[in-house]
Structure 1
């Protein structure tokens, strides 16, 4: 830019701001205090404009943004930590917002687009949702201290639970585990005596003094005092499934970047 139009633009800017930005003499031109302050802000604005363009490109590629993740209580002990480590390592500019929710509530929020990803129990039987098995694990017997089965070193047989008092899961609030146990015992022609129905895994462990319970293997990490965990011989070695669930129409690039890694 030649000198005359540059001078005119400076004069226009000073008129608009109603301040003098430069001290001018016949030999020198230097910034006034107002000019020095304005220069700092101008440089910052240019830098922020460049960052805004870079941020937009990162969000579009899934390298930045926010992912809202729902998880069940037991998934926090065995799966969630590894998933968050993956985000930190490969998507460090993606923020994760966590919500501890039972599967039913996760499904509702995923359908309503207030969650991006769920760590939930199957099935996610809604046409708008997609799911993939993420992990499978065994069931363990949780036994109160002094129970006759607690000291047996060998894996327990399902038949050993026939006629024994057992803490069972609620058919409405813990439907997945309820149906899993009913099917497992029914196929083995075993009939425990259900003395209590609970909605959560940790509640089952609290109630173990009333009887035995079958819990996912990750529950052993809770270390409840007075509870012994024992292996159980099952027709399916890893019957407890955890699925990744998301809405098919979800257009969050960060979600799809994470799904590609998982």
Structure 2
């Protein structure tokens, strides 16, 4: 079978129609170049070039083969480039899981990083609660998760991606919605509160429980839901108040008032990037490298 070097030699001679100039282009001497052409013609069992002391011409077979030789060389260049891009993470594919709330914060930044720094990479997005993300990461159907920090497992790695404050979301006609003063945790005593599911939204559930328990406050948990947008829809319908991450204010509901809440931890809501330590997908690690410069929280931690 002919080699890429033989094809390159033939194409160069065909373009120059002069062995000396072709050899100079290839940075080699003329005898080895002539040998490459001879080997190619022997392999193909056809004469590609007519040579005299004064000229070099393509034969009809040479003209036909030139088109195909150029195509093969272009394909070989594309193959090399594709392999290098996948190896460096510039191409390939990456599956990213995200919570509904993270779609309004870190996810946008992460996708912009991928679009700008890794335009050849294919991104697959899957909206999932943190628990389901961790299961998908464990079974290797998901490369990267954007989840809350209830992360466990010896094979997992995580990196803080964002912190934000909790805000009170209240129906606009609620007595506590009036005024500009921040609410206190004690204001939630006996109030109807839309609560997060202890299973699907375990992180938020445990966070709110700890806040109320530390303040010795007992709201009335009227409903348990898993998604922030579902909670806000019920607040908008007058079903009660809620505590939501600040990014939830980007979901505009006409009958919701957002108010700050005085907490001992000003930014208690955390979001992590999570992945398997043994994931060898170059696109994943390229994305993590590029994102490290833009995401506000830096550094990786063993989980």
TM-score (norm 1): 0.88
The DSSP-based 3-state class of the residue aligned with 2:175 is: coil
Q: Distance in 2 between matches of 1:155 and 1:195?
A: 23
Q: Distance in 1 between matches of 2:253 and 2:36?
A: 79
**For residues 5 and 50 of structure 1, do their structure 2 counterparts lie closer, same or farther at Cα, with a shift above 3 Å needed?**
closer
**For residues 23 and 242 of structure 1, do their structure 2 counterparts lie closer, same or farther at Cα, with a shift above 3 Å needed?**
closer
Q: Any unmatched runs of 5+ in structure 1?
A: 16-20
Deviations 1:34-92 (A, max 9, x none): 76554323212211212212322232223332221111111111111111112222223
Aligned length: 256
What does residue 13 of structure 1 align with? Answer: 44
Q: Distance in 2 between matches of 1:144 and 1:258?
A: 40
The DSSP-based 3-state class of the residue aligned with 1:46 is: helix
Q: Distance in 1 between matches of 2:43 and 2:263?
A: 83
Q: Distance in 2 between matches of 1:258 and 1:2?
A: 44
What does residue 266 of structure 2 align with? Answer: 237
- Which stretch of the first structure deviates more once superposed, 236-245 or 42-51? 42-51
The DSSP-based 3-state class of the residue aligned with 1:258 is: helix
**For residues 37 and 227 of structure 1, do their structure 2 counterparts lie closer, same or farther at Cα, with a shift above 3 Å needed?**
farther
Query: How far 1:14 sits from its partner (Å)?
Result: 5.9
The DSSP-based 3-state class of the residue aligned with 1:152 is: coil
What is the aligned-residue RMSD (CA, Å)?
2.5
What does residue 163 of structure 1 align with? Answer: 190
What does residue 98 of structure 1 align with? Answer: 125
Q: Any unmatched runs of 5+ in structure 2?
A: 1-31, 293-303
**For residues 173 and 29 of structure 1, do their structure 2 counterparts lie closer, same or farther at Cα, with a shift above 3 Å needed?**
same
- Which stretch of the first structure deviates more once superposed, 93-102 or 145-154? 93-102
